[in-house]
């Protein structure tokens, strides 16, 4: 069922127990709604995610950038990885997408 209303916040929580995650791909198809916040939280994550890919189709979606927080400092095209806590007994990966509000194309 397609969404017929504006979505201000969408949160997906996945619990991974003793599962090695080498690659995680989140694909959003045909976003015809206004998405102000998209957050993906994984906990606990017992292994380092080697690859995290966000794919948006069509490309004219309102979501223009992603903010990714990992247990280590890394950089990837279109994403920014930052450390959120060394004292955490479990790793958390958060992805936040926001719609463009400044400048055009």
β-pairing verdict for 75-76 and 79-82: antiparallel
* Under 8 Å between Cβ of 101 and 72: no
Tell me the Ramachandran region of residue 30: left when phi exceeds 0, alpha when psi lies from -120 to 50, beta otherwise: left
Do the domain assignments include residue 21?
A: yes
Q: Please write the tens of the pLDDT for every residue from 48-86.
A: 444 444 444 333 333 333 334 443 333 333 333 333 333
Is residue 20 in some structural domain? yes
Q: What is the pLDDT of residue 103?
A: 34
The answer to whether 21 and 49 are in contact (CB under 8 A) is yes
pLDDT over 90, % of the chain: 0
* Residue 16: inside a domain: yes
Domain count, the chain: 1
Query: Residue 72 domain-assigned?
Result: yes
Does residue 104 form part of some domain?
Answer: no
91: closest CA among 32, 25, 19? Answer: 19
The residue with greater pLDDT, 88 or 10, is: 10
> Do residues 97 and 65 touch, judged by C-beta distance below 8 A?
yes
In a domain, 105, yes or no: no
């Amino acid at each position: 069922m397609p969404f017929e209303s504006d979505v201000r916040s969408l949160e997906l929580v996945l619990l991974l127990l003793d599962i090695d995650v080498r690659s995680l791909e989140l694909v959003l198809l045909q976003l015809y709604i206004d998405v102000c916040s998209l957050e993906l939280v994984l906990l606990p994550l017992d292994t380092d995610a080697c690859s995290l890919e966000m794919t948006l189709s069509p490309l004219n979606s309102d979501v223009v950038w992603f903010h990714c927080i990992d247990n280590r400092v890394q950089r990837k095209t279109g994403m920014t990885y930052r450390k959120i806590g060394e004292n955490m007994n479990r790793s958390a990966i958060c992805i936040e997408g926001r719609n463009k509000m400044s400048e055009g194309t």
